[in-house]
Amino acid sequence: MSRFTGSAVYLLALLALLIVLPSPSTFAQDVPFTIQADADLQAALTALYGARYDGAAPAFVEADADVLASTDADALAAAYDGLPAYYLPDAGLVPLTENADALAFIDFAVSPDGQEVLIGEGLLPESVTLTDSTGVEVEVPQPVRAVVSAYGPTTYYFYVLGAGDRIVMASFLGANGPAADTMRRIDPDFDTITSYEISQRAINIEAVATLDPDLIVSSARASWADQVREMQFPLFLVEIETPEQVEEAMLLYGQLLGPNALARAEAWIAYYNAIYARVTQQTATLAGEDRPNVLFHGSDLLRVASGEMYQSDMIAVAGGVSASGELTGYWNDVNLEQIVTWDPDMIFLPGYGDVTRDILLENPEYQALRAVQDGAVYDLPKLVAPWDIPGPDSALGLLWMAHTLHPDLVAFDCAAETQSFYRTFYDYQLLEEEVARLCGS
C-alpha cells in the first residue's frame, strides 16, 4: 500500500475548485446564489443548474484564479467543514457560506439525479465495468440508485462513500444495542433495510426482485452468487482480509458509485494510509520480546481468529504477535488446551457476539491464562461498525490496538480522533454519551 502523511490528509486537493456564494444585490432577487468556475466547467454547471431549477441559467461571476487553483488541503478544510463534493472526476463544489439553496444545489449535483444529468451531457459514462475479487467482469449501469449489501462489514463502506441513502436492503455486522440506536440517527431507514433475511449465506430472492437493485454486493464467499447472477442483477463480490484488500474494496465501490463516491474513497484511503504509516513508524523498531502475544478471541468461547484474517494483520501492525497466527482459514474452533498453550499476554474481544470481557474474566476455564490473571482482556470499541472488522472504522481500531499494546509509544486522543473521524466520514456528530462509550470516559 502507498503511505501518505501530512496534515488534513482526508481532504483532497481540488484540480478545479468551484465556489458557491450567496447572490449579490446586483443580481435579481430570484437568483439564489452565484458561482465562480473555470470556463471549461460552466457547461456542466449550467446543465445541472437547469435541471435543478426548471431550465433557469446560473449566475456566474468572475472567478478568483488564486482560489480556483488552490491545492492546499488546510485551505480547503477552512473553506468547507467536511469532504469536498465532486460532481466530475476532477471538479468539486465548495460553499463559502451556509446558503441553503447553494447547499441544496451541491447535494443535487453529486446525487444520482445529478449524475444522470451529466451522463446525458456525455460528461460521465453510462456504465462502469470492473473486475471483482472472484475474477468476474461486472458491468454496472450508471447511476446506481439502489444497493443491496449482503455482507455486514462492507455495508459501512457505503456510508463513508456518501451513499448510505442508496441502500435498500443490507446486513450490518455488530449494529445491535446502542449501535443500532446510532445507526437509526445516521440512517432513519435502518429498520426498513435490515428487515430482510440477508447475509453471505442467505438472501431473500423474492424481496431482491421486488426492490430491483442496481447493484448487489457481498463477499467472495456468497453461497447464492450463481442464483443472483441468473436474475441479471449486477453482482460485485469482494474479498477483504488484508489491509490492501480493504483499500481496494473502498476504491472499487467508489468507482462503481460515481465521482463523489470515488473522491470520498480516495480521501478515506489517504486517512487510512496516514494512520498506518504513523503506527508502523512507531512500532517498527520493537524487538521480538517487546511485542505482546495477543489472542484475538471470537464471538463464542474457544473460537479464535486465524493468521489469515484481518484482525491478525492489525495486531502485527500495532506491534503485537497474533497468538493464533499459525491457524489458517477464518474463525477456528479450538480446545482449551490449545489456548492455555498459547498463554497470551493480552486478549482482544470483538464488538459482536456473546463473549465479553466480564464473561471471559469470570469463566473458570480461562483462569489459568496470564492475560486473565492480569486483567489484560479488552473489548474493542464500536460506534456502529466494530473496529476490528475489515472496513472503514478499522482505521480507528488500528490506533486503539497500538495504543493499548504500547501506550507509552503510540498516542491516541480518543475523543478528538473519533469525533473528527465520524464527522468527516459518516457526516455524523457524536453525542457525548457515544464519545464516553468509545473512549471509556
Q: Which domain holds residue 65?
A: 17-120
Per-residue pLDDT tens for 384-440? 999 999 999 999 999 999 999 999 999 999 999 999 999 999 999 999 999 999 998
Residue 5 lies in a domain: no
Are 42 and 62 in contact by the 8 Å Cβ rule? The answer is no
Report strand pairing: 303-304 vs 235-238.
unpaired
Residue 335 has a pLDDT of 95
Examine the domain organization and report whether 91 and 156 are in the same domain: no
CA separation for the pair 296, 306 (Å, rounded): 9
What is the mean predicted confidence (pLDDT) over 11-33?
Answer: 54
The reply to whether 152 and 90 lie within a common domain is: no
Residue 194's domain is classified under what CATH number? 3.40.50.1980
Q: Are residues 116 and 70 in the same domain?
A: yes
Residues 23 and 108 reside in one and the same domain: yes
Asked if residue 177 belongs to a domain, the reply is yes
Clarify whether residues 211 and 321 are in a common domain: no
Tally of domains in the chain: 3
> 293-296 and 321-322: which strand pairing?
parallel
CA distances from 241 to 153, 154, 248, 266 (A): 11, 12, 11, 19
pLDDT > 90: percent of the chain: 77
CA distances from 339 to 139, 204, 301, 379 (A): 46, 39, 11, 18
User: Per residue in 106-126, pLDDT tens?
Assistant: 999 999 999 999 999 999 999
Distance between CA atoms of residues 334 and 309, nearest Å: 16
SS3 120: helix
Contact predicate 251/130, CB 8 Å: no
157 and 132 in a single domain? The answer is yes
**pLDDT at position 10, please?**
31
Res. 94: pLDDT tops 70: yes
Between CA 161 and CA 154 the distance in angstroms is 11
The answer on pLDDT for 67 being more than 90 is: no
Predicted confidence band of residue 65 (pLDDT cuts 50, 70, 90): low
Residue 8 located in a structural domain: no
Dist. CA 403–CA 390, nearest whole Å: 19
Q: Say whether both 297 and 408 belong to one domain.
A: yes
435 and 289 within one domain: yes
Cell numbers placing 215 = 447493484
Question: Do residues 203 and 224 touch, judged by C-beta distance below 8 A?
Answer: yes
Domain boundary among 86, 120, 154: 120
Question: Which band of pLDDT confidence, cut at 50, 70 and 90, is reported for residue 314?
Answer: very high
User: 99, 42 in Cβ contact below 8 A?
Assistant: no
